[in-house]
C-alpha cells in the first residue's frame, strides 16, 4: 500500500469512527412522574423535555412517564438515586421520614401564599442541594402546588367533624394531621384518588384544587374548604452520574431549560389554581370558606406539627425557619 493510500485509509477510518461516535452521542433519559399527563406539573415536564431536545439538537432526549406509569410516587426518588431512572419528579414532603427538611413546605400554615412559598423555597434550596448531592443527585428545579384545602363528602364546621373520617394520607405530614384530628388515615396513590372516593375507601383529604379538577373529584365529593394550609413543592431531580456523563454544552442547556421550567411552572401553578376552582364549581362542588372554628382548630394542628418538626430538624430546621421568617 502506498503512503497516499495508507493516509486515505486512515482518514476514512477516523471519519467512520467519528460518524459512529456521532450516532452514539444521543443520550436517552427516562423521567418518571406521579401525576396525570394533563396535570400542570406533567405539562411543565413535557415542555422542559422538549426545550432540552431543541437546545441540544437532539443530543439529549428525555422521555417523561406521567401517571406513575414507570414507577409509583414513593419509588421515584430511589429509582433516580439508584440509576434506574436518570431523572424524576418527586413531592418533597413525601420523603420527610428520610430527612425532616424535605417536609418544610408541608408544615400547615407556615407558608400559606405563593409569595411565602417562594420565600420558603429560597431558604430551603441550599439545604436541598447539599442533601441531594450527598445522596448522588442534583436538584434541577422545583414548583409549588396550588394552596391546599380540605375535600370532604360531608360538611365540616370544626376539626371535631373530621373524627373517624377516612382521610387520604399521601405524606407523613398528611398522616400526622389525620392523627391530630382523630381521622382514619388511608394510603391512596395520586393516580387512584377518584376511584378511592367513588368506592368509599376515602371520604376526605387535604389537597389542591388542581388535584380535584384533574381527577374529576366533583363527581364524588361535595365540598372543598379553602384553608390555604400550605403549598408543597414537586422537585425535579437528576442522578449526578448521569448529569456528569453529559458534555458541558449539554449540561448548560439542561440547566437553562430547568431554570426556564421553574419560572413557567410557578406561573402555571397560579393559573391552574384559579382555573381548577372554576372547574370544581362547574362540576357542582361547593367551594367553602372555613369557619372561624375550623381555622382555629387547623392553626392549632399547624403549631403542634411545627414544634414537632423543629424538634426533629434540629439546628438545620431552626436556621431554615429563621431565614424564612427574616423580614
Give 57-88 pLDDT, tens digit per residue.
999 999 999 999 999 999 999 999 999 999 99
Q: Report yes or no on 179 lying in a domain.
A: yes
The domain that holds 90 is classified in CATH as 3.40.190.170
pLDDT at 171 (0 to 100): 83
- Burial of 234 from C-beta contacts in 10 A (0-12 / 13-18 / 19+): buried
pLDDT at 31 (0 to 100): 98
CA angle 104/321/292 to nearest 5° reads 75
**pLDDT mean over 193-216:** 94
Q: Report yes or no on 273 lying in a domain.
A: yes
Q: Report yes or no on 85 lying in a domain.
A: yes
- Burial of 168 from C-beta contacts in 10 A (0-12 / 13-18 / 19+): buried
Pairing, β 233-239 against β 137-144: antiparallel
Contacts with 274 (C-beta within 8 Å, 6 or more apart), sequence order: none
The DSSP-derived string for 158-179 is SGGGGTT-EEE--SHHHHHHHH
Q: Report yes or no on 19 lying in a domain.
A: no
SS3 at position 229: coil
Among 100-109, 150-159, 252-261, the least confident range: 100-109
Residues 96-146: tens digit of each pLDDT: 999 999 999 989 989 989 999 999 999 999 999 999 999 999 999 999 999
**pLDDT mean over 37-46:** 96
Q: Is the pLDDT of residue 2 over 80?
A: no
Domain of residue 181: give its range. Answer: 26-325
Q: Report yes or no on 71 lying in a domain.
A: yes
The DSSP-derived string for 179-223 is HHHT-EEE---GGGHHHHHHHTS-SEEEEEHHHHHHTTGGGT--E
- Least Cα distance to 237 among 97, 111, 112, 136 occurs for 136
Express as a percent the part of the chain with pLDDT over 70.
93
For the chain, how many structural domains are there in total?
Answer: 1
**Which pLDDT band, with edges at 50, 70 and 90, does 170 fall under?**
confident
Contacts with 102 (C-beta within 8 Å, 6 or more apart), sequence order: 92, 93, 94, 95, 96, 128
Q: Is the pLDDT of residue 5 over 80?
A: no
Q: Report yes or no on 261 lying in a domain.
A: yes
Q: Report yes or no on 18 lying in a domain.
A: no
Q: Report yes or no on 6 lying in a domain.
A: no
**pLDDT mean over 27-45:** 96
Residues 266-325: tens digit of each pLDDT: 999 999 999 999 999 999 999 999 999 999 999 999 999 999 999 999 999 999 999 999
Residues 304-314: tens digit of each pLDDT: 999 999 999 99
Amino acid at each position: 500500500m502506498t503512503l497516499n493510500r495508507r493516509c486515505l485509509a486512515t482518514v476514512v477510518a477516523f471519519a467512520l469512527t467519528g460518524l459512529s461516535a456521532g450516532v452514539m452521542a444521543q443520550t436517552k433519559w427516562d423521567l418518571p412522574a406521579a401525576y396525570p399527563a394533563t396535570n400542570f406539573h406533567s405539562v411543565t415536564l413535557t415542555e422542559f423535555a422538549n426545550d432540552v431536545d431543541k437546545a441540544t439538537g437532539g443530543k439529549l432526549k428525555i422521555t417523561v412517564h406521567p401517571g406513575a406509569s414507570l414507577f409509583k410516587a414513593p419509588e421515584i426518588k430511589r429509582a433516580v438515586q439508584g440509576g434506574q431512572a436518570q431523572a424524576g419528579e418527586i413531592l418533597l414532603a413525601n420523603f420527610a421520614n428520610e430527612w425532616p427538611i424535605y417536609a418544610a413546605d408541608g408544615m400547615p400554615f407556615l407558608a400559606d401564599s405563593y409569595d411565602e412559598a417562594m420565600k420558603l423555597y429560597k431558604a430551603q434550596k441550599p439545604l436541598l442541594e447539599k442533601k441531594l448531592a450527598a445522596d448522588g443527585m442534583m436538584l434541577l428545579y422545583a414548583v409549588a402546588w396550588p394552596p391546599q384545602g380540605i375535600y370532604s363528602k360531608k360538611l365540616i364546621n370544626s376539626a371535631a367533624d373530621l373524627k373517624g373520617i377516612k382521610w387520604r394520607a399521601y405524606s407523613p405530614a398528611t398522616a400526622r394531621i389525620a392523627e391530630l384530628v382523630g381521622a382514619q388515615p388511608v394510603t391512596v396513590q395520586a393516580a387512584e384518588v377518584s376511584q378511592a372516593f367513588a368506592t368509599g375507601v376515602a371520604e376526605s383529604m387535604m389537597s389542591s384544587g388542581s388535584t380535584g379538577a384533574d381527577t374529576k373529584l366533583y363527581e364524588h365529593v361535595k365540598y372543598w374548604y379553602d384553608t390555604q394550609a400550605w403549598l408543597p413543592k414537586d422537585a425535579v431531580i437528576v442522578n449526578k452520574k448521569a448529569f456528569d456523563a453529559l458534555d458541558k454544552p449539554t449540561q448548560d442547556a439542561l440547566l437553562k431549560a430547568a431554570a426556564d421550567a421553574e419560572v413557567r411552572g410557578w406561573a402555571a401553578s397560579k393559573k391552574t389554581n384559579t382555573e381548577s376552582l372554576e372547574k370544581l364549581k362547574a362540576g357542582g362542588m361547593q367551594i367553602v370558606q372555613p369557619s372561624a372554628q375550623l381555622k382555629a382548630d387547623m392553626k392549632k394542628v399547624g403549631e403542634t406539627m411545627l414544634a414537632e418538626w423543629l424538634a426533629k430538624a434540629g439546628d438545620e430546621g431552626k436556621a431554615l425557619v429563621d431565614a424564612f421568617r427574616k423580614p
